[in-house]
Amino acid sequence: MSVSQQPEYFSKQVLRTRRFFIAPQRSSQPSTSSVSWQLTAGGCEWCAPDFIIDRQTFPYAAFEFVARGTGTLCLGGKRHELSAGHAFFYSPTTPHVIESSSNDPLVKYFFNLSGTKAEKLFSDLDLPSGTLLRVLDAARVTMLLEEVIDHALRSTATSIRTAIHALHYALSLCADSRQLPTLKYEPGYSTYLRCRGHLLRNYPVIQSIAQAATHCHITAAYMTRLFKRYDTETPLACLVRLKMSQALIKLRQPEMQVKAVAAELGYQSSAHFSRAFKAWSGMAPQEARLQKD
């Protein structure tokens, strides 16, 4: 299955992205009937300070989740403040304006769904178009959304199905852990979100958790305590997963050599990278090249 990363409607007001687009007519996605819902596009966007989306209509039903930063949202004529942990949903006919603040730009996930049952999926979870909520368990949602992107970018029939299941789980978690949009996070949780956001944005060049913690102006021990309190994985496990998930995608590209993948992900030698990759995946990088979904 071929996955394109740049359909025309993708915003260009971004500093960095991990995005995918799947042609809606593909029939290899699972469905509960002859016409159901499909995962059409998604990803993570690091918004530029001047980021703004102003649309009266949109081709797809959509779910968006704010990982960090602040901004404003006008959804169906109602204006809201956006910050980390906010999730919102809109249909093709819901007018929406999403604007990032210039001093603390948004980092947000988005996922677009097509098919006659796309909106029904949201409504069945009591997340109809126009809903804005704050997710209590934002860390788990973020982890699941990263998995959706990782699987979708692999662009095989099996990986797309896995991405859909992960997205459905993330949506269910949003519904299950919803809080009032005006709920404020405690300072420790805000610091945790800042640290996790730093890992998500910079994992290819981060050499150690100590280095990441220094950049976030805390100690490695405190970062570890924050992850133990608010997350399901340690900061080191998070960093390794991000690196290796990206490595797996790169290794499937015929032109990419193991040495180049290692260097791109911050490993000083291909031998060091190979040991880390095998410990994480159970197979050598060369085996990953040959593995099929």
From CA 21, how far away is CA 6, in angstroms rounded?
7
Summarised one tens digit per residue, pLDDT across range 61-81 is 999 999 999 999 999 889 999
Amino acid identity, position 217: H
pLDDT, tens digit (0-9, with 9 covering 90-100), for 87-140:
999 999 999 999 999 999 999 999 999 988 899 999 999 999 999 999 977 888
Model's pTM, two decimal places?
Answer: 0.67
- pLDDT mean over 13-36: 68
Nearest to 253 by CA among 280, 278, 277, 289: 289
CB 66 within 8 A of CB 86: yes
Residue 15 to residues 11, 95, 107, 269, Cα–Cα distance (Å):
10, 25, 10, 29
Q: Tell me the mean pLDDT in the region 25-46.
A: 69
pLDDT digits over 250-272, tens only?
Answer: 898 888 899 999 999 999 899 99
Closest of 276, 290, 274 to residue 241, by C-alpha = 276
Q: Name 186's Cβ contacts closer than 8 Å, sequence gap at least 6.
A: none
Structure confidence at residue 193 (pLDDT): 82
Q: Which residues pair with 97 in a beta bridge?
A: 54, 74
| 3-state percent breakdown (helix, strand, coil) of the chain, nearest 5 | 40, 20, 35
Using CA atoms, how far apart are residues 92 and 169, in angstroms rounded to an integer?
23
Residue 229 in 3-state DSSP?
A: helix
Q: Which residues contact 157 (CB under 8 A, 6 or more apart)?
A: 1, 28, 293
Q: For the structural domain made of 187-290, what CATH number should be given?
A: 1.10.10.60
Q: If one looks up domain 14-179 in CATH, what number appears?
A: 2.60.120.280
Q: How many helices (H) and strands (E) does the chain have?
A: 10, 11
Judge whether 96 and 75 are in contact, CB under 8 Å: yes
User: Has residue 228 got a pLDDT over 60?
Assistant: yes
138-154 vs 187-202: helix axis angle to the nearest 10? 10
Q: Is the pLDDT of residue 185 over 80?
A: no
Domain borders along the chain are 14-179, 187-290
Q: Please choose, from the candidates 280, 274, 252, the residue with its C-alpha nearest in 3D space to the C-alpha of residue 262.
A: 274
CA–CA distance, 31 with 26 (Å, rounded to integer): 12
Cβ-proximal residues to 14 (8 Å cutoff; 6+ apart), any chain: 45, 46, 47, 48, 51
* Sign of the alpha-carbon torsion through 202, 206, 209, 211: negative
Give the amino acid at 120: K
The average confidence (pLDDT) of the chain is: 89
**How many angstroms separate the CA atoms of 258 and 96, rounded?**
44
